[in-house]
Amino acid sequence: MSDTKDEDIKEPKSSGTYECGCHCGYIKFAVTLSPALPEYQVVQCNCSACTRFGYMLIYPAATNVKWHNDSRSRCAAYQFNTKEKDQLFCPKCGTSLGIDFRDFMKPHTYAISARTIYGVNLDELKYKKLDGVNLVKPAGDLSGHYWDEEKGEMK
């Protein structure tokens, strides 16, 4: 007889794999999420980058993102603020794909825009709000600021 209580037994989380990409098809990849999208909480952040890029983010580990046809190397990248993350875009059609946290997050993680998932119905997703304006350092709206490479400072 086991001493395990019913509340100690956890149901395995669902998982799902989703095909994603830009508008023109130049960038294509697959993302595996656990839990699957119906249970996943997509992050809506109010920071200047997420607001301007239209991000609604899911956070798969890099090992759960499979880039098709070397698409990761095809991405254009924009860096701002700390220069520790790449904001990823399609260089052909301009689609905002998400963020490559590179060494900033361990283990290596991506923040992928749920808008890139083929066939996604955004009205059916569950959302979690994040106050990035006040929580992500440096706090504040960084839109319209740029990094002066020569002076090593934000303008």
Q: Considering the domain boundaries, does residue 154 fall inside one? A: no
The whole-number pLDDT of residue 11 equals 59
The whole-number pLDDT of residue 147 equals 54
Q: Considering the domain boundaries, does residue 8 fall inside one? A: no
Total tally of structural domains belonging to the chain: 1
The whole-number pLDDT of residue 152 equals 67
Q: Considering the domain boundaries, does residue 150 fall inside one? A: no
Q: Considering the domain boundaries, does residue 143 fall inside one? A: no
The whole-number pLDDT of residue 9 equals 56
Q: By residue range, what is the domain housing residue 42?
A: 14-137
- Residue 90 predicted with pLDDT over 60: yes
Which CATH number goes with the domain that contains 49?
A: 2.170.150.70
- Residue 42 predicted with pLDDT over 90: yes
Q: Considering the domain boundaries, does residue 9 fall inside one? A: no
Q: Considering the domain boundaries, does residue 22 fall inside one? A: yes
In angstroms, the CA 118 to CA 149 distance is 38
Q: Considering the domain boundaries, does residue 100 fall inside one? A: yes
Q: What is the mean pLDDT of residues 56-75?
A: 97
What band does 1 get if pLDDT is binned at 50, 70 and 90? very low
Q: Please state the pTM of the whole predicted model.
A: 0.80
Q: How far is CA 105 from CA 39, 69, 134, in A?
A: 24, 25, 20
In angstroms, the CA 29 to CA 49 distance is 22
- Residue 132 predicted with pLDDT over 70: yes
The whole-number pLDDT of residue 2 equals 46
Q: What percent of the chain has pLDDT over 90?
A: 65
Residue with tokens 């052909």, as numbered in its chain: 92
Measured in residues, the chain has a length of: 155
**φ, ψ of residue 51 in degrees (nearest 5):** -65, -45
**Torsion angle, alpha carbons of 4, 10, 11, 16, to 10:** -150
In angstroms, the CA 85 to CA 87 distance is 7
Q: Which residues of 69-78 are buried (b: 16+ CB within 10 A; e: fewer)?
A: eebbebbeee
Q: Considering the domain boundaries, does residue 75 fall inside one? A: yes
Q: What is the mean pLDDT of residues 117-144?
A: 83
The whole-number pLDDT of residue 155 equals 58
